[in-house]
């Protein structure tokens, strides 16, 4: 009797990232809650088996999508992490991040992240991706202000205010699509933020001077 041994075919490591990009492109004008293997397979002209093969369960696919959407902010966060403690540099980086958020693709990715945050908020798991993304912004901002000489306690409060304000302004952009007025509001926020940070630096210098 002859035995035929079948060797499992290794996954195409190049195809999964390409599929993920295609999935996100497909979702740019669709709700995240409607994500399913069947609708994706039809839209991408692939089999549901291909999607299951590369992504596993729907919950796993959803997490990978949310992770990829949230990762778009990594460039901006890394830039803030690399700051040298100069307020003007910090404000310039925040303005640059705002400009990056104004194109249509960025707006739709932000919309997906907002929806993902609402979906994840109903979960009890500690490793929620959107919460970690939010916390990462806060950690980077606090570190940047501490480098400038702001106390850690004041930095945590100021950064929490500016981060949630940015999220609110992005929500405004998505809902209103009024780039001119929202950007004007952003600039006013940045002016107040910069003035407040300068005052806090002076306060800390006077305490230790």
For the chain, what percent of residues have pLDDT higher than 70? 93
8 Å CB contact between 116 and 178: no
Task: Mark whether 169 and 193 lie in a shared domain.
Answer: yes
Residues 79 and 163 in one domain: yes
State whether the Cα torsion 122-124-128-131 is positive or negative: positive
Residues 115 and 58: their CA atoms lie apart, in Å, by 16
pLDDT digits (tens, 9 = 90+) for 111-143: 999 999 998 888 777 788 998 999 999 999 999
Q: Are residues 45 and 145 in the same domain?
A: no
pLDDT given at position 12? 61
Check pLDDT > 60 for residue 8: no
pLDDT tens digit sequence for 160-209: 999 999 999 999 999 999 999 999 999 999 999 999 999 999 999 888 76
Q: Give Cα separations from 84 to 5, 24, 79, 147 (angstroms).
A: 60, 35, 10, 7
Residue 5 pLDDT level (bands cut at 50, 70, 90): very low
Sign of the alpha-carbon torsion through 203, 186, 106, 35: positive
Is 7 contained in some domain?
no
Q: 87 with 186, same domain?
A: yes
């Amino acid at each position: 009797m002859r035995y035929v041994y079948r060797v499992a075919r290794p996954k195409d490591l190049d195809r999964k990232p390409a599929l993920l990009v295609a999935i996100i492109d497909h979702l740019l004008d669709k709700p995240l809650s409607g994500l399913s293997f069947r609708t994706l397979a039809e839209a991408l002209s692939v089999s549901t088996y291909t999607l299951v093969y590369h992504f596993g369960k729907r919950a796993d696919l959803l997490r990978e999508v949310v992770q990829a959407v949230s990762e778009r902010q990594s460039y901006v966060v890394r830039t803030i992490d690399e700051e040298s403690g100069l307020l003007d540099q910090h404000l310039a980086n925040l303005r640059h991040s705002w400009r990056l958020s104004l194109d249509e693709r960025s707006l739709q990715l932000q919309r997906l992240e907002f929806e993902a945050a609402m979906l994840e908020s109903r979960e009890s798991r500690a490793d929620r991706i959107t919460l970690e993304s939010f916390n990462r912004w806060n950690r980077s901002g606090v570190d940047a202000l501490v480098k400038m000489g702001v106390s850690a306690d004041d930095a945590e409060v100021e950064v929490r205010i500016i981060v949630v304000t940015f999220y609110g302004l992005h929500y405004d952009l998505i809902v209103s699509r009024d780039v001119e007025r929202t950007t004007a509001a952003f600039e006013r926020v940045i002016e107040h933020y910069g003035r407040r940070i300068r005052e806090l630096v002076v306060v800390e210098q006077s305490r230790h001077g």
